Structure 1
Amino acid sequence: MSRADTALHHSGWSISDAAVPDTQAWDALFAAAAHPHPHYSRHVLAAHGAAGLLPSGLRFVSVRQGDRLVALLPCAPGRDITALGGRVMRPFLSPFVTATAPLIADGPGRAAHAHDLVVALEAVSGGPAWRWPLLPTQEGAVPDLLAAMRARGWSVGTVAAFDRPVMDRRSDHDAFLAGHPSRSRFKDLRRRTRRLAEAGAVGFESATAGADLTRLVAAFLTLERAGWKGQAGTAMACRPETEALADALFAGGAGPVGVRADALTLDGRPVAVSLALVGGGIATLLKTAYDEDLRSHAPGLLLEAEIVRACHETGFADRLDSATLDGSALESLYRDRTAVAEIIALPPGHHGLALERRLRLARFEREARAAAKRALRRR
C-alpha cells in the first residue's frame, strides 16, 4: 500500500492519495455514506489483506473535510487491453467484489465531496484512463461522481450495462408477493419444496456469529468445492488464499459491517448455503453454493426465497442485493432492479487512445471471456 504521493489542499479541504485510512474515520465514513456497499469497508479490505489478496500498488484516494473523512476509493494501476497493454487505473477489484462505487458521505455536501474526489482521481492517475467495472450508476453518490467528471471535462463511455436484481423490503412478505410479476415462480418453488420434503425434513437456519456461523461457512466451502466450481478450480476452497479470505470475511468482528450465513437443510444437513455481508441496511448476498446432486429441486432458489421471507419477518436488512451479473436466476425472484455498468473515463488533457477505440477493445475482451466461461461450464 503506497503512502501520500499526492496531496492537494484547497478551500479548507484536504485531498490525498494516502496510506490505509484511520480505523475510526473509515468506519464513520461507511456509516455516513450514501448507499454504502461493503466491498470498500475496512472489514473487507482487511480480510483481503489478511489473505494476501491486495495488489502491491493499492492506494487509498481520500477526501477530508477537517478531521472528517468524506470520500474514499481504493484503487490500483495496472496494464490493460484498453491501453494496448499500457497503464490504466482501476478501483480495487477481486473476484469477490461485486460493486466499485467510492464511499462518499451523504448530506448537503455530497456533490461537493464527489467533485473533490474527481479532482483527486485526476491527480492520482496522472493522465491514464480509468477502467471502472461494476459501477452502480444510479445509486447513492455515483450520479454526483459522473456529473462531476463530465463537468470537469472527462470523457465517459459505457462498455456494457445490465440491471441487477435487488429486493427492497415491503411492509411484510404478503405485500412483497402481492402483484409480483413472477407469481408462477413461487408456485413452482412450493412444488419443488414438497418434492424435496419427500426425501427428508426441509429446514432453514441462519447464523451471524459463533460456532453456528463457523459451521455454515465450512458447509458452504464444502458444497462449492464439490460442484462445478471445484472441478474448474474456482471454488474458494481450491486455493489457500481464497479459503483464507472466506475465513477472514466471515470471522465477524467490530465495525459497521456484519456477516450472515443462511442455509437450507435436509434432515439437518445443509444442502444450500448463502453467505452475506450486512451494513448500512443492505445485505449483499456475496456467495451461494448448493448440493448439485439435488439440482432438480433448485435448492439454491429455495434458499433465496426463504431469505426473502426471513428479511420481511425479521427486518435484518432493508434491501437484499443479489450481487449477481447479468442473467441471474434471481431476476425472477426479486422485484426490483439497480443499474450496473462498466465505464471507461478519460481525464481532461488525455492524449492516448480515443475513448471509442478503448470501448471496442473492452467489449471484445468481455465477449472473449464470456465465451471462455461458457466453454468451461460445458466441460
Structure 2
Amino acid sequence: MDMAPDPALKPAKGNLLPILSGQTQDARWAALADAAAEPNAFYAPDMFRAALDHLDESKSVRLIEVFDGILLIGLLPVMVTTRHGRLPMATVANWMHAHCFLGTPMIRSGREQDAWAGFLRQLDCADWAPHFLHLRGLDAAGANAAALEAVCVTQGRPFREIGRYDRALLRSDLSAEAYWDANVRPKKRKEIRRLQKRLADLGAVESRMLTDAVDLSHWCSEFLALESSGWKGRQKTALSCASHDAAFFRAATAAAMANGNLEFLRIDLDDRAIAMLVNFRHLDGAFSFKIAIDEELGRFSPGVLIEIDNLRAVQTSSAISWMDSCAAPDHAMIDSLWGERRSIAQYRVALRGSGVQRAHRAAAFTMANALERFTAFIKGR
C-alpha cells in the first residue's frame, strides 16, 4: 500500500504534486474515476486536470495518492490553510477551489476504508501538515463519509462533524412533466406559463443543447459574456474577470465535451442567448456547474425557464440518474423546483505523528473543539 507508482514521476520539491509527465498520471486518474465509489465531477479528470493546469491556487496543492501495488485506490488533493473558520490556526484541508462544489475524494469502489487509512497515514507522517485535517464538502450519506468514520473509530482517532447543510437534488423516476406538477405549486406553474407567453411575444424563443464540438468555443464566449453582464460581473466574481478562471472553464468544458460528459443548454431570443446553463457528468450523476442569464429580461425569469429545459434533459437522459444542484443552502429558486435534498458535511479529523508534533496536533484539535463548544454555548444563551 502507498508505494510509488512510477519511478519516472518524481515529487516536486516541497510538494507531493508530481511532475506531470503526460499520459501515465492522467490514465491512472481516469481509471480511478471510472471505478469511483462516489461520482464527483470536480475531481474527475475533465475538471480536475483543467483546475490544476489553470487555477492560480493550484500552485499550493499537494496530491495524496494511495496505491495497492500499482493500482491507484485513492486520490485526495489538499492544501495548507492559514485559518480554520474564525480561528487563526493553520490546518491541512481538502482542496476546494472557488469553482469546486463537492469535496469528496476520488476513491475506488470497495476500497474506501483502505484509501482513508492510506490518506491519514501519509498525513500523520507529513511534517508540512499542521494541526489537523479539515474535510469540506462531503456527502454525509455517502460511502466515503461512512468509510472515514469507520476508519477513525477503528483507529481510535478523534474526529468531529463540524457542519452540515442541505442543498437541492434532482432524483426521481417521474417524467419531467409529472415531476414539475408534483413539486411546483399550481400558482407558480401558472405564472411561469404566463411568462413564457409574454417572452414569446418579444420574438422567436428557442431552446438548444450543444451537440457539436465545433460550436463549443463560441458557446463558451457567449456564456462568459452573459455571466459578466450581470451581478457577477459587477462584483468581479464572473469567470471572465480573471484570465485563469476563463481558461479553466474553456479547458474543462472542452475535455468534458470530448469525453461525452458535458451538458450545455441555452435559451435564445431572436438568436441571442438570454439564459445558459452548464452541467458536468460523472458516472451516473451530474452536477449543475454555472448558470448565466440576461438580467435585463429578469422579469421573465429566464433562470427558471432554463431550469425547466434542464429538468426535461435530465429526466429523459438514460445516462443521468440524478443531478446535484451544487447550490448554496436555502437557494430560493432551485429549492422551489427540486424536491429532493442532499446533506453536505464537513469534518475535523485528528492527525497523529511523533514527539512534539503529536502533542501539538492533539492540543490544536482539542482547542478547536473546545472553542467551538464555547461559541455554541454563548450563542445558545
Equivalent residue for 1:331, pick from 308, 313, 335: 335
Match of 1:67 in 2: 70
Return the alpha-carbon distance in structure 1 between the equivalents of residues 160 and 112 of structure 2. Answer: 23
1:306 to partner: Cα distance:
0.9
1:326 to partner: Cα distance:
0.7
1:151 to partner: Cα distance:
3.2
Equivalent residue for 1:280, pick from 259, 283, 289: 283
1:308 to partner: Cα distance:
0.6
1:179 to partner: Cα distance:
3.5
Give the SS at the match of 1:99. coil
Return the alpha-carbon distance in structure 2 between the equivalents of residues 33 and 255 of structure 1. Answer: 20
Q: CA 1:254–1:302 in 2, change beyond 3 Å: closer, same or farther?
A: closer
What whole-Å deviation, never above 9, does each CA across 1:163-190 have from its counterpart, x for those lacking one?
1111114153244346436454433322
Give the SS at the match of 1:36. coil
Equivalent residue for 2:298, pick from 276, 295, 298: 295
User: In the alignment, is the contact (CA less than 8 A) between 1:173 and 1:309 conserved in 2?
Assistant: yes
Equivalent positions of 1:201-220 (< 5 A) are: 201-220=204-223
Match of 2:80 in 1: 77
Q: CA 1:210–1:79 in 2, change beyond 3 Å: closer, same or farther?
A: same
Return the alpha-carbon distance in structure 2 between the equivalents of residues 362 and 189 of structure 1. Answer: 44
Give the SS at the match of 1:351. helix
Return the alpha-carbon distance in structure 2 between the equivalents of residues 165 and 361 of structure 1. Answer: 31
User: In the alignment, is the contact (CA less than 8 A) between 2:112 and 2:143 conserved in 1?
Assistant: no
Structure 2, unmatched stretches of 5+, are 5-10, 353-357, 377-381
Return the alpha-carbon distance in structure 2 between the equivalents of residues 40 and 86 of structure 1. Answer: 27
Letter in 1 for 2:347: I
Match of 1:356 in 2: 369
Kindly report the root-mean-square deviation, in angstroms, between the aligned alpha carbons of the 2 structures. 2.9
212-221 vs 94-103, which moves further? 212-221
52-61 vs 329-338, which moves further? 52-61
User: In the alignment, is the contact (CA less than 8 A) between 2:293 and 2:303 conserved in 1?
Assistant: yes
Structure 1, unmatched stretches of 5+, are 1-5, 10-15, 364-379
1:233 to partner: Cα distance:
1.0
Residue 149 of structure 2 corresponds to residue 136 of structure 1: no
Match of 1:110 in 2: 112
Return the alpha-carbon distance in structure 1 between the equivalents of residues 373 and 197 of structure 2. Answer: 49
Match of 1:341 in 2: 345
318-327 vs 175-184, which moves further? 175-184
117-126 vs 240-249, which moves further? 117-126
Name the count of aligned residue pairs.
351
Q: CA 1:362–1:256 in 2, change beyond 3 Å: closer, same or farther?
A: farther
Divergent runs of 4+, >6 A: 360-363
User: In the alignment, is the contact (CA less than 8 A) between 1:82 and 1:361 conserved in 2?
Assistant: no
Return the alpha-carbon distance in structure 2 between the equivalents of residues 298 and 230 of structure 1. Answer: 19
Equivalent positions of 1:177-256 (< 5 A) are: 177=180, 179-180=182-183, 182=185, 184-252=187-255
Structure with higher strand content? 1
139-148 vs 250-259, which moves further? 250-259
Q: CA 1:358–1:207 in 2, change beyond 3 Å: closer, same or farther?
A: farther
Give the SS at the match of 1:61. strand
Letter in 2 for 1:352: A
User: In the alignment, is the contact (CA less than 8 A) between 2:2 and 2:67 conserved in 1?
Assistant: no
1:120 to partner: Cα distance:
3.1
* Percent identity between the two aligned chains: 22
What whole-Å deviation, never above 9, does each CA across 1:246-297 have from its counterpart, x for those lacking one?
1111123688672221111212211011111112122211110100011111
TM-score between the two structures when normalised by the length of structure 1: 0.83
